[in-house]
A and B are shown apart, each in its own frame.
Chain A
Amino acid sequence: AQSVSQHNHHVILSEAASLELGCNYSYGGTVNLFWYVQYPGQHLQLLLKYFSGDPLVKGIKGFEAEFIKSKFSFNLRKPSVQWSDTAEYFCAVNAQGDSNYQLIWGAGTKLIIKP
């Protein structure tokens, strides 16, 4: 069965630190990849997505993610975090050719930024 792993369930950083959240998936075919974020008290919302083309994808609020096919990874990065980045981050994967209504979700990473 397909799965998505987010290795860090909780991450605590200080402001201005660099961030990298890991996401690995288990599917050998073509994939669509997503990062969603849920800020405290807000709805889950799309941060960025990758379908094809440049494997380095830029999203909102200075976030980016790199798709490395050989490593089955889609890690989320931000060079300098802010207190307002405190949120829970979810990686999700769709296997093209599979049920296209189905996203496989990671368990999420709770990020806390200390001011």
Chain B
Amino acid sequence: SQTIHQWPATLVQPVGSPLSLECTVEGTSNPNLYWYRQAAGRGLQLLFYSVGIGQISSEVPQNLSASRPQDRQFILSSKKLLLSDSGFYLCAWSAGLAGANEQFFGPGTRLTVL
């Protein structure tokens, strides 16, 4: 069966420090991968999606970037964190287009920028 891992589960970082969040998927090949941010009391906001290795699309311009170095690995990064980057980050995968297929979510990473 397929599983999705995210780490770390929680992270506290100072403003201006770099960030690297990792997501890996097991049990499937060539998944579509997604990074979301969820703010308290708000829905999920799509940050990045990837349909293949090295292919990244950004939905929202921001201080973050994403990379997909391997088929089942998706990384969310920042060179210098801002206070506004605090939030709950979710990684997800789907076998096809997110709008027409079930998405499977990871456990999330709670990021606090101080």
Residues of A within 8 A of B (CB): 4, 9, 32, 36, 43-46, 49, 51, 90, 92, 94-96, 98-108
Contact = CB atoms under 8 A, between A and B. Distances in A.
B102 A49 contact: yes
A67 to B, nearest CB: 15
Given A100-B99, A103-B99, A90 B46 contact: no
Contact of B43 (A46, A49, A108): A108
Contact of B46 (A95, A98, A103): A103
Contacts, number: 64
A58 B106 CA distance: 25
A36 B49 CA distance: 19
Interface string B91-111: 010000111101111111000
Contacts of A105: 43-45
Contacts of A44: 90, 92, 105
Interface in B1-50: 4, 32, 34, 41-46, 49
A100 to B, nearest CB: 4
29 contacts: A4-B43, A9-B41, A32-B99, A43-B104, A43-B105, A43-B107, A44-B92, A51-B100, A94-B99, A96-B99, A96-B100, A98-B99, A99-B99, A100-B97, A100-B100, A101-B34, A101-B46, A101-B49, A101-B57, A101-B97, A101-B99, A102-B59, A102-B98, A102-B99, A103-B44, A103-B46, A105-B45, A106-B43, A107-B43
Nearest to B46: A102
A104 B108 CA distance: 19
Interface of B: 4, 32, 34, 41-46, 49, 57, 59, 90, 92, 97-100, 102-108
Contacts of B46: 101-103
Contacts of A102: 46, 59, 98-99
